[in-house]
Amino acid sequence: MENTVVPPTEPGISGKAATREDTARALDRLRVLHARKHRRWLPLLWLLIGPGILVMLGENDAPSMLSYSATGAKFGIGFFLPFVLLTFVMAFVAQEITVRLGAVSKAGHAELIYRRFGLGWGNFAMVDLLFTNFLTLVTEFVGIVAGAGFFGVPGFVAVAGGILVIAGVYSFRRYWSWERTVLALALCNLIFIPVAVMSHPAWGAVARSLFTFSPLPGGLNATTILILLSDIGATITPWMLFFQQSAVVDKGLSMHDINQGRMDTALGALLAAIAAIATIIATAPLFVHQMDASQFGAAQFAQALVPYVGHLGGAMFALGILEAGLVAATTISTSSAYAYGEVRRQAGSLNRSFQEARSFYGVLFASLLVAGGVVVIPGFPLIYIVLVVNVLAVLTMPPAIAFLLLLVNDQEVMGEHQNTWLLNALGIGVAAFVSLAGLLYALSTIFPNLHF
pLDDT in tens, 241-269: 999 999 999 888 999 999 999 999 999 99
Separation CA 371–CA 317 (nearest Å): 23
The mean pLDDT of 338-361, rounded to a whole number, is 82
Does the pLDDT of residue 299 top 50, yes or no?
yes
User: Given this model, what pLDDT does residue 5 score?
Assistant: 40
Rounded to whole angstroms, what are the CA distances from 188 to 9, 33, 176, 182, 261?
37, 31, 19, 10, 22
Mean pLDDT confidence for 273-289: 89
Give percent of the chain with pLDDT exceeding 70: 89
pLDDT per position as a tens digit, 101-155: 999 999 989 889 988 888 888 888 888 888 889 988 998 998 898 889 889 899 8
Q: Report CA-CA distances (Å) from 341 to 334, 338, 354.
A: 11, 5, 13
Amino acid letter, residue 154: P
For residue 419, the number of C-alpha atoms closer than 13 Å in the C-beta half-sphere is 20
The answer to whether residue 33 scores a pLDDT higher than 90 is no
Q: Which of 5-9, 102-106, 149-153, 272-276 comes out lowest in average pLDDT?
A: 5-9
Confidence grade of residue 51 (pLDDT, cut at 50, 70, 90)? very high
Minimum mean pLDDT range among 67-81, 175-189, 211-225? 211-225
Domains (range + CATH), the chain: 49-393 (1.20.1740)
Span between the terminal Cα atoms of the chain, in Å: 60
Residue 419 in this model has a pLDDT that exceeds 50: yes
Residue pair 310/110 in contact (Cβ under 8 Å)? The answer is: no
Where does residue 451 fall: left (phi above 0), alpha (psi -120 to 50 degrees), or beta otherwise? beta
Judged by average pLDDT, the poorest of 5-19, 110-124, 324-338, 372-386 is: 5-19
Q: Is the pTM of this model over 0.85?
A: yes
Banded model confidence at residue 407, pLDDT cuts 50, 70, 90: very high
Sign of the C-alpha dihedral computed for residues 85, 224, 147 and 159 taken in this order: positive
Rounded to an integer, what distance in angstroms lies between the CA atom of residue 107 and that of residue 123?
16
Q: Which residues contact 132 (CB under 8 A, 6 or more apart)?
A: 237, 238, 239, 389, 392, 393, 396
